[in-house]
Amino acid sequence: MENISTRGGCPPRPFSATLLGGLAPDGGLFLPEAYPQVSVGELARWRELSYPELAFEIIRKFATDIPEPDLRALVTRTYTAEVFGSPEITPVRKLGPGLHLLGLSNGPTLAFKDIALQLLGNLFQYALAKAGTELNILGATSGDTGSAAEYAMRGKAGVRVFMLSPHGRMSAFQRAQMYSLDDPNIFNLAIEGMFDDCQNLVKAVSHDAAFKERHHIGTVNSINWSRLMAQVVYYFKGYFAVTGSNREQVSFAVPSGNFGNICAGHVARCMGLPIRRLILATNENDVLDEFFRTGVYAPRTTERTHATSSPSMDISRASNFERFVFDLVGRDGAVVKELWAKVEAGGGFDLAATPFFARVHEFGFVSASSSHQDRIQTIRRVWDQHGVEIDPHTADGIKVGLEFQEEGVPLVCLETALPIKFEDTILEALGRKPAGPESLRDLERRPQRVTVMPADLARLKAFIEVHT
Ligand SMILES: *Cc1c(COP(=O)(O)O)cnc(C)c1O
């Protein structure tokens, strides 16, 4: 299976050639030239598989240029009970009749991003060893992504991580999670500024092609195709967990920001998984909800992006959305190129009057948004009715999911983080602090390793220079 670009300007490339990279050379996003189809017989056999076996079967349809024994070993090493807390990896809890919670947050950083990034860490190590090269990952984070990337890459041969975070602006828990890592290949840089300053520094380094090449600079941002591919697996796992036969349909509710998670659901559905609806939930930053309701995609400015109590969904533009639009417009790269020329010029687009927009429902998508009060009420309600603590992002998903729940169709809500990461909101909702695993109790007391630095490009480059 070769990968192509959403903007149609790049010849097909083997999976491995797109693994370490970010954007395609034409500025688009990589995705497979066609979605592999799952036969009735395969789907029946897959129902019986363990998580790593299922992951192998699905991923081998995409990563066709990795020898199968190698791929099986990589996947088996990634999805273990030691790393993810149980042999199910993504356990399902029943909340009520026809209502289920798919647990995606039992990895090292307690958010669903671990599921893809843990695999990426092993894939990167494998690919770099094969190519005899190394990679220095430079990233900016305001919380979840940075820690998931660090926990995925720690101790991996051939990889270093330089992670920029805004000094003093993350929660004590998030800081402790990242800064307490003492692996020699992980570098935490606390930048005296805001998240945007961190991101601008990363961009500035990326624009210096000579420096980038000399120091093998790369990223693990949310547009990496392999991350999405790894997430396809748990839609299958969740489907099998709540159904008795492959004739049944299931709907999924997905708390969404950059559109990575729900895009994996879209891919699963295109492969033939009987998904009825993909229910997209946003918080007050409702740029995606607006599109699915009206056909208008209007990315926001930073000033118009709200800081909410589900912060990992506080986005102004949805970086993976381009992949879905590529499918929506019949995989016509020229159309995508034209639409994103408008986006990159600071505007947006309106598909309402086009035949494309009518197809949104053929693809199973519906959407709505949720507010702070909705999150508080949903956290309370799920605790009172089901005795389960949920985090504010998961609450956005459940709130919106229930609005679209249908008689006779199981609803699976994706749990994207554990409540312990968002103590203040849980305290507000339930009047007490969230429960958490024993191992995390002392996290905030562990020694921390971080270099504080002004938002200065020369200083950052000098630091990378010395440490690579
Ligand atoms: C990243 C994240 C999201 C949003 O996921 P996307 O793939 O960006 O749509 C939702 N909840 C949590 C907790 C996250 O970390």
* pLDDT tens by residue, 397-455: 999 999 999 999 999 999 999 999 898 999 999 999 997 766 677 888 899 999 999 99
Among 39-43, 96-100, 194-198, which stretch is predicted with the lowest mean pLDDT? Answer: 194-198
Question: Residue 379: is its pLDDT beyond 90?
Answer: yes
Q: What is the 3-state secondary structure of 404-418?
A: CCCCCCCEEEEECEC
- Asked whether the predicted pLDDT for residue 238 surpasses 90, the reply is yes
What is the C-alpha separation between 392 and 426, in angstroms, rounded? 8
Q: What is the pLDDT of residue 3?
A: 97
Rounded to 5°, angle at Cα 292 from 400 and 234: 60
Average pLDDT over residues 55-74: 98
Grouping H, G, I as helix, E, B as strand and the rest as coil, residue 305 is coil
* Ligand 1 midpoint to CA 310 (Å): 9
Show the tokens assigned to 81. Answer: 């009970």
Share of the chain above pLDDT 70, in %: 99
- Ligand 1 mutation target, pool 102, 110, 112, most atoms within 8 A of CB: 112
- In 54-141, at which residue ranges do the beta strands (DSSP E only) sit? 92-96, 99-103, 135-140
pLDDT of amino acid 319: 86
Burial letters for 362-380: b for 16+ Cβ neighbours within 10 Å, e otherwise?
A: ebbbbbbbbebebbbebbe
Q: Determine the pLDDT at residue 35.
A: 98
Beta-sheet strands, E only, within 303-353: 349-350
Is pLDDT above 90 for 293?
yes
CATH code for the domain defined by 92-109+226-438: 3.40.50.1100
Other C-beta atoms closer than 10 Å to the C-beta of 23 total 18
User: Helices 321-328 & 260-271, crossing angle to 10 degrees?
Assistant: 30
Give me the residues paired with residue 279 across strands: 253, 366
Average pLDDT of 271-295?
Answer: 97
Tokens of 444: 């905030």
Output the CA–CA distances (angstroms, integers) from residue 362 to 276, 353, 366, in the order listed: 10, 16, 10
For ligand 1, whether the C-beta of 255 sits within 6 Å is: yes
pLDDT tens-digit profile of 252-273?
A: 999 999 999 999 999 999 999 9
pLDDT for 200: 86
Binning pLDDT at 50, 70 and 90, where does residue 388 land?
Answer: very high
Atom of ligand 1 nearest to the CA of 421: 13
Whether the pLDDT of residue 364 is over 80: the answer is yes
Ligand 1: which residue has its CA nearest to atom 2?
312
Report the pLDDT value the prediction gives residue 421, as an integer from 0 to 100. 87
CA distances from 31 to 34, 56, 137, 293 (A): 8, 19, 22, 26
Q: Does the beta carbon of 215 sit less than 6 angstroms from any atom of ligand 1?
A: no
Judged on CB neighbours under 10 Å (0-12, 13-18, 19+), 86 is exposed
Largest CA distance in the chain: 61
Closest CA to 143 of 121, 123, 160, 163: 163
- Name the residue with tokens 């997209």: 280
38-41-47-51 Cα dihedral, nearest 10 degrees: -50
Whether 80 has a pLDDT exceeding 90, the answer reads yes
pLDDT value at position 384?
97
227 in contact with ligand 1, CB cutoff 6 A: no
* Ligand 1 nearest atom to the CA of residue 148, by list position: 15
Which one, of 123, 121, 168, 175, lies nearest residue 147 by Cα?
A: 175
Q: Which residues does the annotation mark as catalytic?
A: 113
Answer yes or no: is the C-beta of 105 below 6 A from any ligand 1 atom.
no
pLDDT value at position 396?
98
Segment 142-177, tens digit of pLDDT = 777 899 999 999 999 999 999 999 998 887 888 899
303 band by pLDDT with thresholds 50, 70 and 90: confident
CA distance to 102, 198, 393, 395, 414, per residue, from 254 (Å): 10, 28, 9, 10, 6
Residue 30 pLDDT > 80: yes
Q: Say how far apart CA 26 and CA 18 lie, in whole Å.
A: 13
Give the residue among 144, 177, 185 at the shortest CA–CA distance from 161: 185
Cα 298–Cα 374–Cα 435 angle in degrees, nearest 5: 115
Mean pLDDT for all residues in the chain: 94
Instruction: Kindly tell me if the per-residue pLDDT of 327 is higher than 80.
Output: yes
Distance between CA atoms of residues 252 and 411, nearest Å: 6
Model-level pTM? Answer: 0.95
- β partners of residue 188: 163
The answer, yes or no, to whether any atom of ligand 1 lies below 6 A from the CB of 312, is yes
Whole-angstrom CA distances from 95 to 101, 381, 388 are: 7, 11, 8
Rounded Cα gap, residues 17 and 372, in angstroms? 43
Rounded to 5°, the CA angle 303-308-312 comes to 95
Span 202-230, pLDDT tens digits: 989 988 889 988 999 988 877 899 999 99
Ligand 1 contact, 28 CB (< 6 A): no
